[in-house]
Structure 1
Amino acid sequence: MVKQHITDTKQSNLWHNEQERLLFAELVNVFYSREIPALAQQYSAEQLQRKLLSLPYYVERAARHITQGEVPLQLDSQNGCWLASQKRTLPPFDEHKNQDFFSSSNLIGLVVPVLIADVQYSQVVIDSIDQVRDNAVHCNQYGWFSYSGYSHDDDFRLFKPTKQLMVAACCGHRWQYGKVVAPRVLSLREMLLASMINWTNVKVPKQRHH
């Protein structure tokens, strides 16, 4: 009986590892099929060649982080996206809460929600803070913001991180004229950023393990 129990345990572990391997392969395929056409539209032939050389590293890194369960959201592995119920509206923009938070927190490396609104859609995206100076923070993609959350160069709005906003950003939630619409698909960069969120406390940067 003991021998049988040990055999069953080994088989269970093998099955678990096989499931992880299949999930990893599925995500890698999804990310390649999505990223290559997107890159081809954005870059010239010479730029594209450089991007493609680094693509395997980022694809495999994102797939590995997702497979290892570093994001506590439901995964749609066939489409390479996160799923969660969408709120009817976004939280209000509160410059006073933003000012208090960004003026007093450990910010370098923190993943933050940024509101992007145009004539069609309102949506929350994620970015990471890489500089802090002169009462302002710099996000890697969306540039400089005042502590109160106003962009220096555009109409973007930086929010104090909350679990609700981070879930909305990671799941690609969008609103059109105040109504819920189909979510957008995240870029590979955003999928990687989602794994860098400290989900136990989204207001504190995640500790990186080397």
Structure 2
Amino acid sequence: MGEQYIAMSNEQSSLWHDERERLQFAELVNVFYAREIPALTENATAEQLPRALLSLPYYVERAARDIVQGSVPLQLDSQNGTWLSPQKAQPKWQMDVCKHYFARHGTVGLVVPVMLSHKGLTRIVIDTIDQVRDNMIHCNQHGWFDCSGQSQKGVSTIMFKPAKALMVAACCGHQWQYSKAIGPRVLSLREMLLASMINWKNVRIIKKRSR
């Protein structure tokens, strides 16, 4: 299926600057299909699966294209569909800093870092703000937070003020076990797409898409 879709995309060859970009695109498309199809068949219901498979080529190509054309300024491992960066210490939440920022700058469409902790395992993920009202912020996947970043789901989920180091950690799959760095996790296609929505020149404001 991946190879067929690459063939369908040959008409867009003028988008690539050189053979290296075309190779990276092909590698990313193949690895994304290899990851997403098993995940869909395992997690989607019988009713959801046909629709999800139908839309998959669009999202796979979009993610691969945005990555190859430089939307994410990180070292790319195209064969594994991951970004690479040295892992730093586990970040610490600063309630006052978050409250001061989100009370003024919580904006629909902004990509934000969220820290998830469970049974000693901590990771940073990215999500998008889709609602803001009554000093509360709602993220697309992780629900409601107050302006200090505290989740309504409990203390295991905390929203951070956007910072480049946090975005890098999230995009590279960095995680910690009892505050000690462990091997990175692999991002989902959704997360890969969100990473291309980050305004890497200034992670605290929304990126304006040119298309």
Corresponding residue of 1:96 = 96
Distance, in Å, in 2 between the alignment partners of 1:53 and 1:134 is 38
| Post-superposition CA distance 1:40-70 (Å, at most 9, x none) | 1111222111110110010000000011011
Distance 1:96 1:39, change over 3 A: same
RMSD between superposed Cα atoms in Å = 1.6
Aligned residue runs from structure 1 range 19-98, under 5 A: 19-90=20-91, 92-98=92-98
Distance, in Å, in 2 between the alignment partners of 1:169 and 1:208 is 21
Distance, in Å, in 1 between the alignment partners of 2:144 and 2:105 is 17
Corresponding residue of 1:138 = 138
Residue 206 (structure 1) shift: 0.6
DSSP 3-state at the match of 1:208: coil
Residue 130 (structure 1) shift: 1.0
Residue 200 (structure 1) shift: 0.7
DSSP 3-state at the match of 2:193: helix
Corresponding residue of 2:5 = none
Distance, in Å, in 2 between the alignment partners of 1:162 and 1:130 is 19
Q: Give the 4+ runs in structure 1 shifted more than 3 A.
A: none
Answer with 157-166 or 97-106: which moved more: 97-106
Q: TM-score, normalised by structure 2?
A: 0.89
Answer with 152-161 or 74-83: which moved more: 152-161
Counterpart amino acid of 2:123? Q
Corresponding residue of 2:6 = none
Corresponding residue of 2:182 = 181
Corresponding residue of 2:162 = 161
Distance, in Å, in 2 between the alignment partners of 1:76 and 1:24 is 11
Distance, in Å, in 2 between the alignment partners of 1:148 and 1:61 is 34
Residue 116 (structure 1) shift: 0.2
| Post-superposition CA distance 1:164-193 (Å, at most 9, x none) | 111000000000012110000000000001
Residue 16 (structure 1) shift: 4.2
Corresponding residue of 1:6 = none
Distance, in Å, in 1 between the alignment partners of 2:106 and 2:45 is 38
Corresponding residue of 1:149 = 149
Distance, in Å, in 2 between the alignment partners of 1:67 and 1:147 is 35
Distance, in Å, in 1 between the alignment partners of 2:209 and 2:180 is 38
Q: TM-score, normalised by structure 1?
A: 0.90
Answer with 16-25 or 178-187: which moved more: 16-25
Counterpart amino acid of 2:158? R
CA contact (8 A) 2:106 2:132 kept: no
CA contact (8 A) 1:106 1:204 kept: no
Q: Which has the larger radius of gyration?
A: 1
Residue 120 (structure 1) shift: 3.7
